[in-house]
């Protein structure tokens, strides 16, 4: 405090330097503060954004130490070439360009020495600080306890690079068919908890307008692809980059390349529908839809005052609807929702707060890339396409369900039909007519074939009917399995055994005759 003279927010540069010196956990907290532009002074928010890319890198000796601990051998044995200069340095790790002995150019992400231990100490300190100081614990405007909880979860995920490797692989699979979205491929055989090796991709950060223009990119197209790519992650995949700032994105080959996927948000179908309903209610002024969406978004610790909550939401929806969607600040409105949730004894799922901050970041970045792009028009267009797509998918699902129902209906009738056919055949009511030019000598052979066919029908009928009985759970049960089904399987097995024994006996008799 004294060293950097941070007794007020006027010395924002010194605040940033102090956070960097305090360590990676405080850097992460500064990054979270940088997303709360409505709650903190704009000059502080702007300065703390520099925490993303301006952390001093480790020394080459420290890098060598981490690599040796990860692989048990010197880096020259793993990499044909390794650039000693870091291409990016963050609070937990730094990235180097390298080349494998097999010839592939790769990016090597290396965890800082002592990061896990230091960050755990800082998290304990933060939790105790919020718990013991009433002003911090009971502040109605800033959910510091929730912020520290989220920071703890994020930190534990980011400290395990195998977790990020799994995220990269999952993200790649979800976007494999998308022409304008991708992420680096992972080299799992070279990846450990502290070293992540992935495809090296050259590109341009989306806010570097001059470089994009020099390369012939259309800034409006880039901004729209960026928005649509993020919305797909939220509303279609339910798996999204929780910190979609420009430093985590490159433009390469006309594609949006997402990396630094250690911190991902996840949205269930219920979460997705809740948020879409809430957004639509802002546009249409439908308070009832907003109320339903809000209820689904929250976890309540006491009985809900439905009338009071409805009135409060009516005020929020009315003010937003009157102002127009294009004039609202999503992050600010989410803070309003947080305060409303606290008032009514509820907590909004962290995935929603993470997602709202992500949308706010995308909104600000789009303005930097191309101010002419109307962010909220893109939201509306995307929502319309999504609704139409959902209607089509629902029709396809209904048709598929009908096909499965008809198939199941035929399957259920199959054992009875087979049994009726066999019964009619045995009674001579359904004779099989065969006109075959066969000799007297070959007649026993034909009879054997017919007998085997009949046996096969009986065995199939027993197996199919027994399977249906077991799946339906018909009582009585033996060890949780329907008794009739078990008997059917036993009879089918017995019939198979008898057929095999008879055939073996007959073959042996024929050999003796010869």
pLDDT at residue 59, as a whole number: 93
Q: What residues contact 343, with CB distance under 8 A and at least 6 apart?
A: 312
Mean pLDDT of 189-209: 95
Q: Of the ranges 151-160, 198-207, 388-397, 418-427, which one carries the lowest mean pLDDT score? A: 388-397
pLDDT digits (tens, 9 = 90+) for 165-176: 999 999 999 999
pLDDT at residue 390, as a whole number: 57
pLDDT at residue 206, as a whole number: 93
Q: How does strand 88-89 pair with strand 79-82? A: unpaired
Q: State if pTM tops 0.75.
A: no
pLDDT digits (tens, 9 = 90+) for 229-258: 999 998 889 999 988 888 889 999 999 999
pLDDT at 10 over 80: no
Residue 442 pLDDT class (50, 70, 90 cuts): low
pLDDT at residue 195, as a whole number: 97
Enumerate the H helices of 344-372 as residue ranges.
350-369
pLDDT digits (tens, 9 = 90+) for 75-121: 999 999 999 999 878 778 899 999 999 999 999 999 999 888 888 88
Neighbours of 268 (CB within 10 A): 11
**Phi and psi based region of residue 182 (left: phi greater than 0; alpha: psi -120 to 50; beta: remaining):** beta
pLDDT at residue 412, as a whole number: 59
pLDDT at residue 300, as a whole number: 79
Residue 123 pLDDT class (50, 70, 90 cuts): confident
pLDDT at residue 1, as a whole number: 44
Alpha-carbon 305 to chain mean position: 34
pLDDT at residue 8, as a whole number: 47
pLDDT at residue 154, as a whole number: 76
pLDDT at residue 279, as a whole number: 75
**Contact indicator for 495, 488 with CB cutoff of 8 Å:** no
């Amino acid at each position: 405090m004294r060293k950097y003279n941070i007794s007020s927010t006027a010395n924002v540069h010194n605040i940033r330097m102090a956070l960097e010196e305090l360590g990676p956990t405080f850097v992460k907290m500064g990054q979270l503060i940088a997303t709360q532009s409505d709650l903190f002074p704009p000059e502080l928010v702007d300065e703390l954004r520099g925490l993303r890319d301006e952390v001093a890198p480790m020394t080459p000796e420290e890098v060598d130490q981490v690599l040796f601990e990860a692989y048990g051998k010197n880096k020259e044995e793993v990499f044909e070439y390794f650039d000693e200069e870091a291409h990016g340095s963050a609070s937990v790790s730094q990235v180097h360009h390298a080349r494998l002995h097999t010839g592939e150019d790769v990016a090597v992400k290396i965890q800082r020495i002592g990061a896990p231990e230091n960050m755990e100490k800082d998290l304990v300190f933060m939790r105790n600080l919020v718990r013991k100081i009433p002003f911090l614990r009971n502040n109605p405007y800033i959910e510091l306890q929730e912020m520290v909880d989220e920071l703890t979860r994020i930190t534990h995920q980011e400290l395990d690079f195998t977790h990020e490797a799994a995220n990269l692989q999952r993200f790649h699979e979800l976007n494999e068919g998308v022409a304008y979205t991708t992420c680096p491929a992972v080299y799992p055989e070279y990846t450990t908890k502290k070293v992540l090796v992935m495809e090296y991709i050259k590109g341009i950060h989306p806010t570097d307008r001059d470089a994009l223009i020099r390369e012939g990119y259309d800034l409006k197209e880039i901004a729209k692809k960026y928005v649509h790519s993020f919305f797909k992650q939220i509303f279609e995949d339910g798996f999204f980059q929780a910190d979609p700032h420009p430093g985590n994105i490159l433009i390469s080959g006309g594609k949006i390349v997402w990396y630094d996927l250690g911190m991902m948000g996840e949205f269930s179908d219920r979460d997705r529908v809740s948020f879409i309903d809430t957004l639509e209610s802002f546009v249409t002024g439908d308070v009832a839809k907003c109320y339903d969406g809000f209820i689904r978004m929250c976890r309540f610790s006491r009985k809900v005052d439905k009338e009071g909550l409805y009135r409060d939401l009516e005020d929020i929806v009315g003010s937003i609807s009157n102002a127009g969607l294009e004039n609202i600040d999503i992050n600010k409105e989410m803070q309003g929702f947080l305060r409303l949730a606290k008032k009514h004894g509820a907590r909004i799922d962290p995935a929603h707060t993470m997602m709202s901050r992500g949308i706010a970041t995308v909104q600000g970045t789009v303005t930097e890339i191309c101010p002419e792009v109307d962010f909220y028009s893109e939201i509306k267009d995307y929502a319309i396409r999504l609704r139409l797509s959902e209607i089509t998918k629902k029709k396809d699902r209904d048709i598929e369900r009908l096909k499965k129902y008809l198939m199941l209906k035929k399957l259920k009738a199959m054992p009875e039909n087979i049994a009726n056919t066999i019964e009619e055949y045995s009674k001579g009511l359904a004779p099989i007519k065969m006109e075959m030019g066969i000799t007297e000598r070959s007649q026993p052979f034909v009879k054997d074939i017919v007998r085997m066919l009949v046996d096969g029908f009986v065995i199939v009928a027993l197996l199919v009917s027994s399977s249906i009985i077991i799946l339906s759970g018909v009582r009585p049960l033996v060890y949780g399995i329907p008794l009739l089904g078990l008997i059917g399987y036993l009879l089918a097995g017995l019939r198979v055994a008898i057929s095999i024994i008879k055939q073996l006996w007959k073959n042996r008799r024929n050999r003796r005759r010869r």
